[in-house]
Amino acid sequence: MRGRSGVAFMAVLSLLAWAQPYRVVDASGKAVEVRSIERIVSLDGITTEILFALGVGDKVVGRDDSSYYPPQVLRLPSVGYQFRLSAEGILSLKPTLVIGREDVRPPQVVDQLRQAGVAVVLVPAEPSVEGAKRKIRVVAEAVGQAARGDALVRALERDLLALRAFQAQHASRKLRALFLYLRGPGTTFVCGEGSTPVGVMELAGLENAAKGIRECQPMTAESVVAARPDVLVVFKRGLESVGGLEGLLKLPGVAQTPAGQNRRVVAMDDLYLGSFGPRAGRAALDLFRAAYLMDGFVEVGP
């Protein structure tokens, strides 16, 4: 088959491929059939980032408040924050596919959307490299872009190889790092095993100083001092919420730690640090550089 007829045949095949329903087993173990991806509502920032990286960003008609990358996402209407959603707000955008984290809340929203006939795909939220790969593949299969999903996974693996090579070149005493989740001086948490930022910290070669703490627990002066961190890691927005570096140093216990005394703080973009998505390898490399190769206060962007 050659010439115009061949081109036309390939075009027809392409149209048929886009028209076919896609099937995916999501994080809940359910087999979900996606009949159309013409109107996608994404319920978390990393899923949104993956959708755009897969080349289907033009199909996204709504997002949640944690979705702000890539920047053009901000032009889309928001349905609220991923853990405070309502089915009515999502359905008002007439979605054909709703996709978000497996721990989206309230969970009843998922049932309400499915009862309304909308395909809902839940994405793994495991904070690890393997979790990131599964996340990418589930989103890719849900929108019929498995090959592009494999390419994203390979790109992530290349970034991780570069990270390991860089770490080997600059190996030194392992630093103890403590991640603080801040939302104003009255809403402060110490995060440990199972939290995504700590997973990225460990990938970067930092020792988690919050041993024995699962997920995020209210911050106390005793827990911060006992952790003895060499460096503190925070979200940029969290740091802003407590009044910047000086405000952070005034929080209970912080000034009594080695990190506080040396003003060694790394502030990273929330989504970049708190993701485990396609950019996880690059985020870990940037964190490694900031913690091991720089002194004092360092801001890291995507």
| Residue 16 in this model has a pLDDT that exceeds 90 | no
**pLDDT bucket at 171, cuts 50 / 70 / 90:** confident
Compute the C-alpha angle 37/38/40, nearest 5°: 65
**pLDDT bucket at 2, cuts 50 / 70 / 90:** very low
Strands 31-34, 22-25: pairing is antiparallel
Got the DSSP string for 265-283?
Answer: EEEE-HHHHS--STTHHHH
Q: Is 133 helix (H, G, I), strand (E, B) or coil?
A: helix
More reliable by pLDDT, 8 or 89: 89
pLDDT of 197 reads 93
| Residue 1 in this model has a pLDDT that exceeds 60 | no
pLDDT of 173 reads 86
| Residue 201 in this model has a pLDDT that exceeds 50 | yes
pLDDT of 58 reads 96
pLDDT of 8 reads 52
Element (H, E) at 41: strand 40-42
| Residue 39 in this model has a pLDDT that exceeds 60 | yes
pLDDT of 19 reads 55
Maximum Cα interatomic distance, the chain, rounded to a whole number of Å: 75
Strands 60-62, 40-42: pairing is parallel
pLDDT of 141 reads 97
The pLDDT tens digits of the residues spanning 54-77 come to 999 999 999 999 999 999 999 999
**E-strand spans in 183-250?**
188-191, 207-208, 216-218, 231-235
Q: How far apart are CA 24 and CA 27, in angstroms?
A: 10
| Residue 178 in this model has a pLDDT that exceeds 50 | yes
The pLDDT tens digits of the residues spanning 267-284 come to 999 999 988 899 999 999
**Token code pair at residue 128:** 């690890």
pLDDT of 18 reads 53
pLDDT of 10 reads 46
- Give residues with Cβ within 8 angstroms of 74, minimum separation 6: 68
Q: How far apart are CA 238 and CA 234, in angstroms?
A: 7
Specify the residue for token string 């550089």. 289
pLDDT of 61 reads 97
pLDDT of 13 reads 46
- Give residues with Cβ within 8 angstroms of 58, minimum separation 6: none
| Residue 257 in this model has a pLDDT that exceeds 60 | yes
Q: How far apart are CA 90 and CA 107, in angstroms?
A: 14
Peptide bond into 185 cis (omega under 30): no
pLDDT of 220 reads 93
Exposure string of 52-77, with b = 16+ CB inside 10 Å and e = fewer, is bbbebbebbbbbbebbbbeeebeebe
pLDDT of 302 reads 73
Tell me the CA end-to-end span of the chain in Å, nearest whole number: 46
Do the beta carbons of residue 269 and residue 237 sit within 8 Å?
A: no
| Residue 208 in this model has a pLDDT that exceeds 70 | yes
**Token code pair at residue 145:** 């872009």
Query: What letter represents residue 34's amino acid?
Result: V
Mean pLDDT of 223-232: 95
The pLDDT tens digits of the residues spanning 237-246 come to 999 999 999 9
Closest CA to 138 of 24, 59, 23: 24
- Give residues with Cβ within 8 angstroms of 135, minimum separation 6: 46, 47, 50, 123, 124, 125, 126, 276, 277
pLDDT of 20 reads 66
Compute the C-alpha angle 33/109/139, nearest 5°: 40
Mean pLDDT of 111-118: 95
